[in-house]
Amino acid sequence: MRLSHVFRALQKWNYPGRVYIPLEKQNAWNKWLYYKSYWCQLGLLHDDTLNENRPEVQQALERIPAQWKDERAFRQRRAMELSMKHRILPESEWTKAEEDVLYLEPYVEEVKKEMEDFKEFTANL
């Protein structure tokens, strides 16, 4: 089984969250910018490129389901391999603008709110 078949099976993402480029903002300029981004050509989603050293992202990654963690790891490993070989995916396998969902954003926002609440709580003690 070729790797592209495995990836096509994983492309049926069912993530909550908003689309990276909403439909009302999907004009020619935004789509051109999106497809010229390197991570799109490697098959990554926008949230796969977030800095994992930030504490709110670390906690958000702990909260997502195991299947999403596995899919994220697969996309990142494939992107690392392609990057090391100085290659990109065939254009048919690029992440499409309408499929790029910010799956981690709701969790990051939730963690940020909890951190703010904790700071307020500890400030009042």
Q: Give the pLDDT band (50/70/90) at residue 109.
A: very high
The runs of H, that is alpha helices, within the chain are 3-10, 28-36, 38-41, 55-63, 66-84, 105-123
Which pLDDT score is estimated for 11?
46
| pLDDT over 90, % of the chain | 53
Q: For residue 97, how many other CB atoms are within 10 A of its CB?
A: 19
Helix or strand holding residue 51 (H, E): none
